[in-house]
Chain A
């Protein structure tokens, strides 16, 4: 699968949102079969904040962003100050997920000379494997998967996340 924005290019976009300089690095990029996914973001039982968007036009693009719980807290500290309530941190993750996922969908639309309209992001806190396998079950046969490990460096904090891009109809 060729699609996928360059994470480095997202730094300035996130810096605008967070109000501090942000450097984004890519830790790894893998094309996967669906069955390899549940342990992708660490042990399947580990708690994560998940942000999910798909293409409103039903063209088979889906994006899932998973923040391990400590990284979600660090993001909350960065955006809201320390000790923010869970719901506010979830909102912050949803906002960042929306920016990152929107950028990836936009890049994908450019490559296909088409239009991809992201849905409103939905989010939850749950076991990473439970979220991933639920999204997979909702994906049609023939879906190909690209995963990216990303890390944000901002205000002396390092925040890691796993981005999973699912796309129907493109051979890996």
Chain B
């Protein structure tokens, strides 16, 4: 029986159990990044809030997934520690929406930063659902290595 493992704002989580699902509820301008392996059921996820860590940022161990430039190297290292070599890694990314008009710049910057970081470490993006103006909930099924993305259904957006 699968059960969801929730990834909160700025968190990084690792799942080694194929029965698990990694979930992020109510993604807006943030971007969910999942690294997985086509031949095993290990998955690492980060809930990225901002594109780049400020120079003044001190890593206190809290919110290691907050910034794209720190989250992705950490995901790679977590997968390596779990025994998955970098050459086998694939990525799925979701989010970066402009839920309120003014947040569009941050959503776009998050998407771009995540793409650049993944490109820099040589991990291909195999699945993605990014941009737009609607919030999303995403569930990554570790066994099937597949994304399930939900937005509010039309009856719920009608007041």
Contact = CB atoms under 8 A, between A and B. Distances in A.
Contacts of B101: 122
Contacts of A130: 26-28, 97, 99, 134-136
Interface stretch (B14-22, B70-78, B123-131, B151-159): B151-159
Most chain A CB within a 10 A radius of its CB, from B26, B97, B152: B26
Contact of B135 (A35, A49, A86, A131): A131
A149 B156 CA distance: 22
B30 A137 contact: yes
A54 to B, nearest CB: 8
Nearest to B137: A45
A122 B102 contact: yes
A14 B94 CA distance: 40
A129 B25 contact: yes
Given A47-B156, A73-B159, A86-B159, A127 B100 contact: no
A90 B159 CA distance: 8
Contacts of A86: 157-159
Given A35-B9, A134-B28, A137-B50, A126 B99 contact: yes
A69 B156 CA distance: 8
* Size category, B interface: 20 to 34
Interface of B: 8-10, 25-30, 49-50, 54, 62-63, 97-103, 106-107, 110, 134-137, 150, 152, 156-159
Given A125-B157, A137-B49, A137-B106, 20 more contacts: A35-B10, A44-B25, A52-B100, A86-B158, A90-B159, A124-B100, A125-B152, A125-B156, A126-B157, A127-B26, A129-B25, A129-B27, A130-B136, A131-B99, A132-B26, A133-B30, A134-B135, A135-B100, A138-B103, A141-B54
14 contacts: A35-B10, A44-B26, A90-B159, A122-B101, A128-B26, A129-B26, A129-B135, A130-B27, A130-B134, A133-B9, A133-B28, A134-B103, A134-B107, A136-B49
